[in-house]
Structure 1
């Protein structure tokens, strides 16, 4: 082991992670070469490039057609959130005169202009992908999106009956005239603008009809049709063809569909409030009435109606998006869930991790016994969350030898067995601490509800530190064994959410290592009390020393490269934005350190540029699962240092959140993580490659046009094969 290693090997050193806090500035040294000014890619445009990669999956004819519809819906949902948060935040800062964070040295208004140009281009491409690619492919598979004009009399009669009984009663047409001001248009709602003429006076009036969000977006034309050959009509078209029922005696002159996106970013000055929950609930109410930042209209909308909407909603021409119907392709989530297995990805059932397999087929595994034997590195969704993390916490809740459970909750599902396990534990007399992050964006109200339910059950609920979001994924169980207290810990890269665990790729470590347990005990004490504790031996924790720790690990790789020793850096994150980390990687590249970055979303780093980053490669992998794990690997002169955890390389994660990385020590786990990188960065693996100008190019076929192997498919097969091999009956055992 290198003497300059930051974290000790438990066998040879007593150095701790607190060494990161010795005011270490690894690159502020005399003689260090100046880095070029234009060395970062714009983070907002990089995010749009990520969503373009999602769109490319929808355009891919080799992807099952209902999955393509799902990717169209994901693209739409992603873009909605981008406008509600990122674009809204930029616009608010411009309006209020606040400085706009940007790492490319351009005026904020120019940034917004570039975003608008790219967003218009992508939304038009998105609409075209639906109209010319996915909709025809759905029709070939027997799923036809019909228009009213294509329907016969019997079908129209049936749909009229559906409208009268199931839709008409919940509609609320709102007139606009001197006695009725322009109505409030809720964010992301689909609306019909209607111009009517009074047949007696000849006067034209405007009205708005909101498309009910609680009703299915696609209505079956004929329930008697088989699911293999079924037609659907959009809800807004069904309503549009019954406007006469809503405005009897009036002539329908024009009707069009429109949709508004509002600023839904929440900001709370925590140091100025005594009750965080009440302040947050007040802010959530304000969110509903945020200013409009995007107006989507169908491309057939007349200028009179558009002018009225633009004026009343106070949006600019740049914020208007003219698109072919239907708007809001997020509604395709409904169709993508149709029970047509042959049109989906093949079913994948997660396996139980080898170490957690029950010893007999009819018995449940003892998680504590298994983890006490050796650390378990879990890889979801290839390995089951239910039979590992969920089972760990459920067994802890039911085990009379367990004295205490401590848990962080950032996002969880509506019927969470994790929360129920904490409630069961508290009701059985155990000490239970739940750190609930009620500021998790768009999950605020759900988390407030969970927090109150936990409190009623006797769980000690805390909300973390003022000014910081608690984003780390931690669980700690204290168990009494033969008169001694033992720590059982879980540290993960993903949320304690059983639903998303089936579609998010994440890693987690289950360990009975006493040092990890002590580290977590100190960290939970800091989060729930007033302790200021920096001395962690197996953890790197933000915001105190995570960035410094990573910078020092990078500096070690630079020194090793300069001295001719083995060096290398591999990082997998959702986003790579932080300038200090990026600059350190540039300097590592200039020193000859091979750097590999595997990123799902935003990447402000510019790879492959001579004199700056020629030793850096950046790859992105998207597929049926959302790549979500964060990994940090350092060659360290042949003694690899590898961490997993919750932190992305963004300012918010490193400066304004409590994040935690844990160092892996089991040689088998180190090899497994390195093997993941080997496959992801292999030129023969299907992926997107980033160049120095910010362009992502998909590499999905080889030179002969044959598809390249998909990493996620390969991992599914590898994990299943490994599990079958491990549980194969020994000679003489009964099958």
Structure 2
């Protein structure tokens, strides 16, 4: 199956269990910072790979705008959470070094040095793409490009639609500097009296209730135009005299600030976690401490100094913008009816066994979800396989089935109009026992989850919020059904959230099974999550924070005993955990061949002689976000496959409830084998990590066909007739 390269010649000598941080095969300190890459810098490298999709001329034009928007949105969250956390450490005088040897001040300095050139590259890319889109009839215009009729139209639009919404705020001894909310776009305005040279400062918030881009009517658009618009802030800026009658408007500059948006809830002290979180959410709406200001590049020195002084920021906190501030808003252009400028539409496939599912036939003829699962374990791979026709159908059919007694689920993130939630409500109304573990602390989904929790509780669903000190990140469902031969338990264990919207964008795997051991394990897990169970052992599942770390380390050390015959392949979002990394280094030193498919953060350094020369790391970036986690161990030919919700990060292994499930059915192991081999032979979307932490995009050699993971998997799924 997943054999090693034919020319692999590493030693067959097994590596005995080493002391932490040391290999007894070589006198090398595997805990040395030189063998670890900064988590923050690795994340910035990931976002650079996202940006490259916008720079790559092979990417369709509107998709390039989409990747610019994703890059910008990613960066906003990075500052709100990661940079904000580093700044809090600096304020608290925390000087603890991370595995790569950096202190918080070191990280902050390194982030700025690495990010600023990339930030400038994003702005250049934006201007380039916007100019190229004009040949396709898409015009994002600057105000100085408009003719007199267009200016007149926008002036009228301003007076009627924008002017009534605006609130200019003066800054002087009688008017303190206003509070600037998180991620708000603002105008810093300089005005003066007509008979004076003294200038005054005012701030205007660009309202989020208005569209970011003001579209011109068809009659005023350039010839052969599909869409033409002007940024809202330019429409406001050009019409400022209406807001300051009797004053002279000297100039205006656009700026945007970013605040700490990470919630901090002391669960041990909270009598009611939901109420405590709601209070924190109210604080987030205002925003925490400032961590960044994006500033128009030509901002005058006086305005620059005023902004920094009033908001207690430094020059290091400034990120200058030459184009448009807040490029995440470009995602709205993906709604334009121009399919030729986008990736071809993809309609998820319904596998043939699921075609005959009886959904509405009152006579009960045809298959149902349960008979399909009873025949054999099923592996579903979204977005290639339909989420609605498989996982969602599993829950909705269970809700309506009179033989179903109980439904239990974990909900980490779900959509605003979730059919899953509606199915749980319907099941409770049908008299079934329904348990939903809603993770209130899912970052940036806290408010949504609070609303769902209240809705479910009102419908009679037993809602629990998990364990103190742990996030419940696992993606599992348990359905208990009364059948002719007794009680049977059906399970879904996956790598992704129960969210129909992200199931169209994220690649995730899920196992549907009625294996008794899995049903028993999930019963124990839900008892652990909802009651006072202190379950310490599970039959099949690997559960964090109980057994997952120990078992993953044991599986890595198992390969070490096979030396050069050992083989590990691991696919995940992030690899950060120092203990896992040291074990992988030890395995490499023993000759084990290791392939890591890691989309985002990777703190391991590959290709270092004597340490990691047998480790290869690739990252796959493309039209779908790689989210599935797969773990493969050769085990002397008795291959072991696992999928689950956990990355190899301290938070997943130690501070979250996660579930990883073994895939034992041979036909499903073959599916995973083919999936991993497709990823490992990618020469279009894959990036190869170098030993200095940089990445090189893989390219096809002469006469080699293009192997794009997502394209190949779409084609493969279309041709498959069973799962």
Same topology, TM > 0.5: yes
- Render the CA deviation track for 1:496-552: whole Å, top value 9, x for unaligned: 000010000000001111110110000000000010112211100001111110000
SS at match of 1:86: helix
Give the distance between the partners of 1:196 and 1:619, measured in 2 at CA. Answer: 54
Residue 161 to residue 100, structure 1, CA distance change in 2 (3 Å): farther
Please say which of residues 210-219 and 188-197 is displaced more in the overlay.
Answer: 210-219
Tell me if 1:77 matches 2:108: no
> Secondary structure at the residue paired with 1:172?
coil
Cα-to-partner distance string for 1:178-197 (whole Å, 9 max, x where unaligned): 21110000111110100111
Cα 1:127–1:701 change in 2 (3 A) is farther
**Cα distance in 2 between the residues matched to 1:435 and 1:444:** 14
The alpha carbon displacement at 1:436 in A equals 0.3
* Partner of residue 460 from structure 1, selected from 459, 462, 470: 462
Work out the CA distance in 1 between the residues paired with 2:530 and 2:518: 18
Q: Which residue of 2 aligns with 1:352?
A: 350
Residue aligning to 1:143: 138
Does 2:275 correspond to 1:281?
no
Q: Cα gap change, 1:303/1:153 in structure 2, threshold over 3 Å: closer, same or farther?
A: same
CA distance in 2, matches of 1:532, 1:355: 39
Looking at structure 2, the residues matched to 296 and 30 of structure 1 have their Cα atoms a distance apart, in angstroms, of 47
In structure 2, distance between residues paired with 1:358 and 1:174? 64
Query: Is the Cα contact below 8 Å between 2:18 and 2:24 reproduced in 1?
Result: no
Instruction: Kindly provide the CA deviation profile for residues 135-157 of structure 1, in whole angstroms up to 9, marking residues without a partner as x.
Output: 12211211011111111121112
Query: SS of 1:386's equivalent?
Result: coil
Report what 2:416 is aligned to.
414
Aligned to 1:47: 43
How far apart are residue 349 of structure 1 and its match?
0.3
Q: Which moved more, 1:671-680 or 1:628-637?
A: 671-680
Verify: 1:577 aligned to 2:576, yes or no. yes
- Cα deviation 1:87-145 (Å, max 9, x = unaligned): 1001101101235461111232121101011121111111011112x112211211011
Q: Which runs of 5+ in 2 are unaligned?
A: 1-15
Q: In structure 1, what is the Cα distance between the partners aligned to 2:659 and 2:494?
A: 9
Query: How many angstroms apart in 1 are the aligned matches of 2:359 and 2:91?
Result: 64
Q: Distance in 1 between matches of 2:96 and 2:136?
A: 48
Q: Say if 2:154 is the partner of 1:159.
A: yes
Give the drift of 1:359: 6.6
- Alignment partners' CA distance in 2, 1:382 and 1:700: 25
Q: Which runs of 5+ in 1 are unaligned?
A: 1-23, 728-735
2:591 pairs with 1:596: no
CA distance in 2, matches of 1:203, 1:685: 59
Partners of 1:333 and 1:380 lie apart in 2 by 23
Aligned to 1:732: none
Map of 1:66 onto structure 2: 62
1:475 partnered with 2:485: no
Match of 2:257 among 260, 285, 309: 260
> Cα offset for 1:627?
0.2
Following superposition, the deviation at residue 248 of structure 1 comes to 1.4
User: 1:49-448, aligned counterparts within 5 Å?
Assistant: 49-100=45-96, 102-132=98-128, 134-224=129-219, 225=221, 228-287=225-284, 288-358=286-356, 366-448=368-450
Counterparts of 2:276 and 2:94, CA distance in 1 = 23
Displacement, 1:613?
0.6
Aligned residues: 697
CA distance in 2, matches of 1:606, 1:202: 60
Structure-2 residue corresponding to 1:682: 681
Please name the residue that 1:529 is paired with. Answer: 531
Task: Write the deviation string for residues 546-580 of structure 1: whole angstroms up to 9, x where unpaired.
Answer: 1110000111100022xx6x421000010000001
Alpha-carbon distance in structure 1 between the residues aligned to 2:259 and 2:83: 10
Q: Using the TM superposition, give the Cα deviation of residue 230 of structure 1 relative to its aligned residue in structure 2, in angstroms.
A: 2.6
In the alignment, the residues of structure 1 paired with residue 367 and residue 719 of structure 2 have an alpha-carbon distance, to the nearest angstrom, of 20
Is the 8 Å Cα contact of residues 519 and 538 (structure 1) preserved in structure 2? yes
Q: Summarize the alignment of residues 699-714 of structure 1 with structure 2, pairs less than 5 Å apart.
A: 699-703=698-702, 708-714=706-712
Is contact 2:165-2:207 (8 Å) kept?
yes
TM-score (norm 1): 0.92
Provide the C-alpha distance between the structure 2 equivalents of 1:26 and 1:495, rounded to a whole number of angstroms.
38
- In the alignment, is the contact (CA less than 8 A) between 2:507 and 2:627 conserved in 1? yes
Asked whether the 8 Å contact 1:85–1:263 carries over to 2, the reply is yes
- Cross-structure match for 2:4: none
CA contact 1:353–1:378 (8 Å) conserved in 2:
no
Quote the Cα distance in structure 1 between the aligned partners of 2:95 and 2:521: 38
Distance 1:365 1:60 in 2: 47
* Residue 172 (structure 1) shift: 1.4
Q: TM-score, normalised by structure 2?
A: 0.94
Distance 2:440 2:535 in 1: 24
- In 1: Cα distance, 2:278 partner to 2:341 partner: 42
Per-residue CA deviations over 1:304-359 (Å, capped at 9, x if unaligned) read: 00000000111111111111131111111111221211111001100012332217
Q: Is the 8 A contact 1:142 1:228 kept in 2?
A: yes
Describe how 1:468-507 pairs up with structure 2 within 5 A: 468-482=470-484, 484-507=486-509
The Cα shift of 1:365 comes to 5.1
1:228: Cα distance to partner? Answer: 4.9
Give the deviation of 1:165 after TM superposition: 2.2
Runs of 4+ in 1 over 6 A off after TM superposition: 359-364
Q: Structure 2: how far apart are the matches of 1:677 and 1:30?
A: 30
> SS of the counterpart of 2:389?
helix
2:428–2:459 Cα contact (<8 Å) kept: yes
Using the TM superposition, give the Cα deviation of residue 273 of structure 1 relative to its aligned residue in structure 2, in angstroms: 1.6
CA gap 1:228/1:490 in 2 versus in 1, 3 angstroms: farther
* Aligned mates of 2:25, 2:699 — CA distance in 1: 40
C-alpha deviations, 1:271-307, integer Å up to 9, x for none?
A: 1221111111122222333111101101111000000
